[in-house]
Structure 1
Amino acid sequence: MTSELLDRALVEEATKKSGLVWVGGPGGPVRALWHVWHEGAACLVGDGPGEQPLPGLADGSVAEVTVRSKDKGGRLVSWTADVVQLAPGSEAWEATVAELKGKRLNAPDGEAMPERWARECRVLRLEPTGARTALPDGSLAQPPLLTTATTREPPPPGLPHLLRRGRRDRKGRKDRKSL
């Protein structure tokens, strides 16, 4: 019983303090998602224009949530969650949207955001099931996908001159070459 309470407290405190969690649903990729901890669950909004995608997260499914440390950015705790989609206009939806609205950065529509979310987005609650997942011993990092994209090209001919312009010598005088 004590271990279960400690696990629940760890999940809640870690998730509250981290503004970003990695969430993976059945059949969907693991994605970094912003969230708000509200009434015992991580709450998300997405799948609409200008909002984060929520692939693989469907009402009634199970998701795996990994929380990062706010200080170091590494994995802190992983937990299993039941996905619950809130119905627009319901009391739970209104309370959750009020919390999400306060944390949403750079919203294109400001005060009209809840109406847009009701029309075009999904609001989800990720409710902890009480099952904490053991952290892996090794890294889960994957190599980047192969691509033909490159960024290495020779510098333009005038760039070295532009970079030298305005430099000062050790005594604080302007470089005579740039005058």
Structure 2
Amino acid sequence: MTDARVELLDRALVEEAAKKSGLLWVRIADASDRALWQVWHDGAVLVVGEGAEQPLHGLADGQTTVLTARSKDKWGRLVAWPVRVEELAPGSEAWTAAVAELKAKRLNSPDHETVTERWARESRVLRLVPTGGSVQNPDAMPDASHAAAPLPTVATTRRPAPAALPRLLFGRRRRRS
């Protein structure tokens, strides 16, 4: 296969994976990955964050990072590619087009009618533009699992199950006389 054809197939894989996935994982400066809700539009990934939206700390204008998408059928890592972060200025033509796409795909927004004004006031809209071919794809996957331990939180507890729990869940078996 020619290099141009491989590059075209690689670009198509990145685009399809990003279009079909509502979440992508972004590599943050401290080498951890964070899931981000996103929309693919006009050759790039769009994300909105800060304020009442998802956190974007660790992503700055002009920075380069890596995005990872999973397979919709197998749920495993499908493709990872490098991107350049572009922060869009509120009110600009690019920002307006990006916000229109993001607003259309935003689920469960508490203020759907005024979300655009809220995003202009308190959030950042980023455009993550691919800068090259994939660094991981079905033909070139790393041997390591990349699994990470969950972040510590007070919301999870680990206690023994109460002794009565099986009886409550499954009921008592009645004996036939």
Question: Do these two structures clear the TM 0.5 threshold for a shared fold by scoring above it?
Answer: yes
Partner amino acid for 1:102?
A
Find the aligned partners of 2:110 and 2:65 in 1 and give their Cα distance.
Answer: 29
Find the aligned partners of 2:129 and 2:74 in 1 and give their Cα distance.
Answer: 25
CA deviation profile, 1:21-71 (whole Å, cap 9, x unmatched) = 00013346310111000000010000112x111121100000110011112
Alpha-carbon distance change, 145 to 92 in structure 1, aligned in 2, over 3 angstroms: closer
Out of 34, 37, 40, which is 2:40 matched to? 37
TM-score, normalised relative to structure 2: 0.83
Alpha-carbon distance change, 164 to 100 in structure 1, aligned in 2, over 3 angstroms: same
1:125 matched residue in structure 2: 127
Q: Provide the identity percentage.
A: 61
2:76 matched residue in structure 1: 74
The list of structure 1 runs, each at least 4 consecutive aligned residues, that deviate by more than 4 angstroms after superposition, is 144-149, 159-165
Aligned alpha-carbon RMSD (Å): 2.6
Gaps in structure 2 of 5+ consecutive residues = none
- Give the structure with higher Rg (CA): 1
* Residues 1-10 or 36-45, more deviating: 1-10
Secondary structure of the equivalent of 2:56? coil
CA deviation profile, 1:109-130 (whole Å, cap 9, x unmatched) = 1111110000000000110012
Q: Is the counterpart of residue 65 in structure 1 residue 67 in structure 2?
A: yes
Out of 11, 15, 23, which is 1:12 matched to? 15
Alpha-carbon distance change, 162 to 8 in structure 1, aligned in 2, over 3 angstroms: closer
Find the aligned partners of 1:44 and 1:123 in 2 and give their Cα distance.
Answer: 6
Find the aligned partners of 1:59 and 1:146 in 2 and give their Cα distance.
Answer: 29
2:148 matched residue in structure 1: 142
- How far the C-alpha of 1:163 sits from its partner, in A, is 4.4
Contact 1:28-1:57 within 8 A present in 2 as well: no
Number of aligned residue pairs: 168
